Structure 1
Amino acid sequence: MNPKRLARLLFREYSIYSIYGYSGGNAAYADEAGPLTAELRFQAVTKSEIDNSRNELIVQQAWYHGEGAHAYACLKDSEIVGLCFFWHGERYRKRNFWPLAEAEAKLVQMVVLPEMRGRGIARSLIKFATREMSRQGFKHMYARIWWSNTPSLRAFKHAGWKRIATVIEISIFRWDKPLRLKLMSMSSQGK
């Protein structure tokens, strides 16, 4: 039997994620997150500001907001062109892909409008949001990124986050829960 065919029979699906992390307390890092140009600015945003966007892609992200969530945006001419959301506490426990302790949060969603990509907005938005989350007392932040999402991997790396682990999940035929392998980076500690 063909090995690929055998694998498809045994394994329903797989996923491979890089886990990136940031540990707060770097004052120099906090000062670096500024606007890319005079026309762009970064700020925390409310759910109603997201709901009132003229762009459907931005409006579709509004459900990430709410109790236990923090939302940050990049704005151009008062229009949201990029968003990221952190979850923590009970809000995140429902997802719980990467376990969080007290004073920890996970960046669960990031989007930059297609016409605004390639300008460093994601990197700057990550830096701004990380600084703001640190100011609110969050000591560690994490993000899960699909292993082949090169633009996101690059944005987190250039924003000063470090790859701390790789997580591989394999759904095996007739198993209720996927098999999860967590491969920690040599430089990471804890988790």
Structure 2
Amino acid sequence: MTAVVKDGIKTAIGMLITDYRLNWIVASSGMPDAAGPDVVQARPEHYGAIAESLTPKVKGALSYARQGLPGMVLLQDGRPASVAHFARAAQYGRDATWPLRANEVALMDIATEQSERGRGLAVALIRGATRRYLEAGADRVVAFIWWTNTPSVRAFRKAGWRRIGFSAEWQWRGRWFALRIPLR
């Protein structure tokens, strides 16, 4: 197929589908090991440091805090190096992506300071936060990851999570449609 034909098809689809989301759905697969850095509940002083972050994704995590979602941070030298926010079913709002079962928690966002990346901090935060939620009585923690976000897919896999599904959502004529594919 020539590049002109491919571009024409993309343009035609773009005129019909105005927005889309393609996500891997991953879930915790049991109680993670307790080893590793301590993960703590985010407090106001942590959010003050996050507001000063030079990493846009970390600073953007404040939007989840403003929505009232609880956060967990992994501290390095007393400062948040990685932050994650979670939602229970009432706060979730992504049922089209993947509905939460009773007593599940969704990891909505995770971000690590640019200067701290590549050191396994996101994996440690995922493990530590998962452990806290499971110990507090959650049945499972789930997350959705943009399908081409290889670093996130890798981090969740290293944290012991597994893929449980794939979600495709698209907007056509102002209305959202979804296709959820569970995996075995």
Q: TM-score, normalised by structure 1?
A: 0.80
Q: How does 1:64-75 map to 2 (within 5 A)?
A: 64-65=64-65, 69-75=69-75
Aligned-partner Cα distance in 1 for 2:166–2:94: 18
Say if 2:46 and 2:79, in contact at 8 Å, map to a contact too: no
Q: Is 2:27–2:162's contact at 8 Å kept on the other side of the alignment?
A: yes
The reply on whether 1:50 has 2:53 as its aligned counterpart is no
Indicate the residue corresponding to 1:21 in structure 2: 27
Q: Secondary structure at the match of 2:99?
A: coil
| Structure 2 unmatched ranges of 5 or more | none
Q: Shift of residue 23 of structure 1?
A: 4.4
Match of 1:38? none
Query: Are the counterparts in 2 of residues 72 and 83 from structure 1 also a CA contact under 8 Å?
Result: yes
Query: Which residue identity does 2:33 align to in structure 1?
Result: A
- Aligned partners of 2:29 and 2:162 also within 8 Å: no
Q: Distance in 2 between matches of 1:49 and 1:61?
A: 14
Q: Which residue of 2 aligns with 1:34?
A: 36
Q: Percent sequence identity over matched residues?
A: 30
1:124-166 CA deviation, whole Å, 9 max, x = no partner?
A: 1100000001011001111010001110000001101110111
Q: Which runs of 5+ in 1 are unaligned?
A: 36-40
**Superposed, which structure 2 residues align to 1:163-178 within 5 Å?**
163-172=163-172, 174=173, 176-178=174-176
The root-mean-square deviation of aligned C-alpha atoms, in Å, is 2.2
For residues 76 and 113 of structure 1, the distance between their equivalents in structure 2, rounded to whole angstroms, comes to 11
Is contact 1:68–1:88 with CA below 8 Å preserved after alignment?
no
Shift of 1:103: 1.4
Structure 1's 115 and 136: CA in aligned 2 closer, same or farther, altered over 3 A? Answer: same
Letter in 2 for 1:105: V
* Residue number in structure 1 paired with 2:10: 4
C-alpha distance in structure 2 between counterparts of 1:115 and 1:42, whole Å: 19
> Structure 1: which amino acid aligns with 2:12?
L
Tell me, yes or no, if the aligned pair for 1:86 and 1:108 is still in contact at 8 Å. Answer: yes
